[in-house]
Structure 1
């Protein structure tokens, strides 16, 4: 199983790690931490040295009840950082976390190579046609509603069946438009309760029926720290445990704040394959 990033075929038969670099002041774990060139470059170098294959840039916080920002502000946050990173790390593979087609278009033009959309195209009807025209890998995530109201949309008659049906519909639409490399993200923490998140992880093998690479984003999320009665800052050990379970159940990409620990999980699990 491979995806094409800037003409480079990335083999996902051995899972890869996507390092998170949030450019927002209000992200749930690292908001406001990387707000100048020196800190951005230092953190990016750290993530790459620890083994990240991709760096995921986010300029719009998608945490529950996040503040809505304009498209202009999102562009102003993200484009200069893409240009900065491409200048300093010419071979870097940048993913851009956005649900807006204009941000996607401008980001790829600036040097990014992948779009990571929390809404699978449902918050911007132009997103799927845009990604198809850009011919870049596309991460589509399951979510109901928006970051501002998703936590009130957790009522399912059969959550797993509904999530899988959501993907079958979105994948079909993307394929019809010509999107080639699609990656599915089950959406841990998005429009799901803690119990539903664990149900999702417990049934992760069912996503193999999609016949797509699977991206899992569990890093320091509330299902971990609420269960352990701790905080996001103290949720690294829990993250590593759940990432290991996700790998055993078929995850191809781990999206994480802490790259070193995720890479170690992959390396050790390879000894049992």
Structure 2
């Protein structure tokens, strides 16, 4: 498959979908290894929730959560491609030193600009995501004059900042930040216009189980798989590089059949 599947490993007590399930290190390692068995191309490991209203986590707590999980997974699967989901440069640096090769920053380097330099120094890929406000405030009253122009303009500027910091263009991945300071109509417009981003950079799309799917279907978080899968043809058609999902096996199966028929 040309579209890579990134499996989510939340080592947190409060993530919106699976908070607390994998806070235990051994549970998180087992979950990550299972996602690889299910067909994940990449594991995205994070120790700080970015759900709406989430509180920040200290650097020491975040390190204590994610480093043993990265180490444990790579001990069993040294071939695994690991992404560290963090906004903190020191967490990124230590994760990269352990063997991670991607930094996934929901703040696009605005919370800790040094994260770009850290990524460049390690030759890592860097995901830059758009978010209006912070996780604590982002869904209070998101508003845009033109959501596509504003989000894509922001991402282009952050990509240029990453290049200026030494990150190679081919290592930059842009994420429109579905659900991060956006209403339903904003999310739909961004998904429909993804090809404008993918013309210039790799693009990551994260829609798995998100609230806009619940708004459209009326389904609770654990019943949003069908709605999530419905976005995949748009991702393929828009030349998205990576989809970030909770349900790896189902996503991989869907893409195998869809791409064979395409």
Deviation at 1:65, TM superposition (A): 0.3
Residue of structure 1 aligned with 2:50, choices 62, 65, 74? 62
Deviation at 1:272, TM superposition (A): 4.3
User: Which residue of 1 is the match for residue 190 of structure 2?
Assistant: 200
Q: Which moved more, 1:43-52 or 1:16-25?
A: 43-52
Separation (CA, whole Å) in 2 of partners of 1:143 and 1:135: 25
Q: What is the RMSD of the two structures over their aligned residues, measured on CA atoms?
A: 1.4
Q: Does 1:219 align with 2:208?
A: yes
Q: How does 1:236-247 map to 2 (within 5 A)?
A: 236-247=225-236
Separation (CA, whole Å) in 1 of partners of 2:137 and 2:162: 25
TM-score by length of 2: 0.95
User: Which residue of 2 is the match for residue 77 of structure 1?
Assistant: 65
Separation (CA, whole Å) in 1 of partners of 2:222 and 2:58: 29
* Structure 1 portions without partners, runs of 5+: 1-12
Q: Does 1:86 align with 2:90?
A: no
Separation (CA, whole Å) in 1 of partners of 2:83 and 2:131: 19
Separation (CA, whole Å) in 1 of partners of 2:158 and 2:261: 34
Q: Does 1:191 align with 2:177?
A: no
Q: Does 1:176 align with 2:180?
A: no
TM-score by length of 1: 0.91
Q: How does 1:36-51 map to 2 (within 5 A)?
A: 36-51=24-39
Q: How does 1:1-273 map to 2 (within 5 A)?
A: 14-152=2-140, 154-180=142-168, 181-209=171-199, 211-273=200-262
- Matched residue count: 260
3-state DSSP of counterpart to 2:54: coil
**Residue by residue, what CA displacement relative to the aligned partner does 1:126-159 show, whole Å, maximum 9, x if unpaired?**
1111211121011111112211111235221111
